[in-house]
Amino acid sequence: MALLSILNYPDKRLHKIAKPVEAVDDRIRKLVADMGETMYAAPGVGLAATQVDVHERVIVIDVSETHDQLMAFINPVILWSSDERKINEEGCLSVPGIYDSVERAERVRVRALNEKAETFEIDCDGLLAVCIQHEMDHLMGRVFVEYLSPLKQTRIKTKMKKLAHAM
């Protein structure tokens, strides 16, 4: 396995739209393993391939308390979203140190492939629902700060650029 480097906002590559995975093969299984290792090391509870500059529809998530329940979502689609919406505090490994409130569907049903290329469906609520919507946004080139006010976005961009120059 290998640790991958995570793109930092406002890197333009975070706005690329990911393409569907054509075949769930050893290359994709290695990507999933490397993304899992990178996510646990960060540490985070989710990671989209876009964030490691791979523009294919792959997500890893582990919202378990024991950090040993890695889930891979390959070519995920949201089949259903609840009308009920909820405001949650979000963070992002591509926007370190920034946390803010975002409103999303409270529950979603997702269909995806696992690492064995098997189709599965899962009903998500709580942190899993928040995380899967956040990660699917990444696959569409959207970063959570884009839900915030233009003023906040400008402040965050300035802060991130200063951080990048200090490193």
CB of 124 to ligand K1U, least distance (A): 12
Q: Which of residues 52-71 bind ligand K1U (CB under 6 A)?
A: none
Choose which of 91, 100, 106, 157 interacts with ligand K1U (CB under 6 A): 91
Active site residue 65: no
Q: Of the residues 22, 115, 135, 146, which is catalytic? A: 135
The number of residues that bind ligand K1U (CB under 6 A) is 16
Cα–Cα distance between 137 and 120 in angstroms, integer? 20
Question: Quick count: other Cβ atoms within 10 Å of Cβ 141?
Answer: 16
Task: Give SS3 for 164.
Answer: helix
**Shortest distance, position 132 Cβ to ligand K1U, whole Å:** 9
Question: Is the distance from CB of 41 to CB of 28 less than 8 angstroms?
Answer: no
Q: Return all residues near 42 (Cβ < 8 A) that are at least 6 apart.
A: 6, 93
Stretch that binds ligand K1U, among 8-16, 27-35, 85-93, 152-160 (CB under 6 A): 85-93
Taking alpha carbons only, the member of 144, 108, 112, 111 closest to residue 123 is 108
Taking the complex as a whole, how short is the minimal distance between the CB of residue 61 and ligand K1U, in angstroms? 8
Cβ–Cβ < 8 Å for 115, 25: no
Stretch 87-106: interaction string toward Zn ion, x if CB under 5 A: -----x--------------
Chain centroid, CA 84 distance in Å:
22
Q: What is the DSSP string of 99-127?
A: -EEEEEES-EEEEEE-TTS-EEEEEE-HH
Which residue's CB is nearer to Zn ion, number 9 or number 113? 9
Point out which residues pair with 108 in neighbouring strands.
81, 124
- Binding ligand K1U (rule: CB under 6 A), the pick from 18, 36, 134, 156 is 134
**What are the residues binding ligand K1U (CB under 6 A)?**
43-48, 90-94, 130-131, 134-135, 138
Task: Report the catalytic residues.
Answer: 135
**What are the residues binding Zn ion (CB under 5 A)?**
92
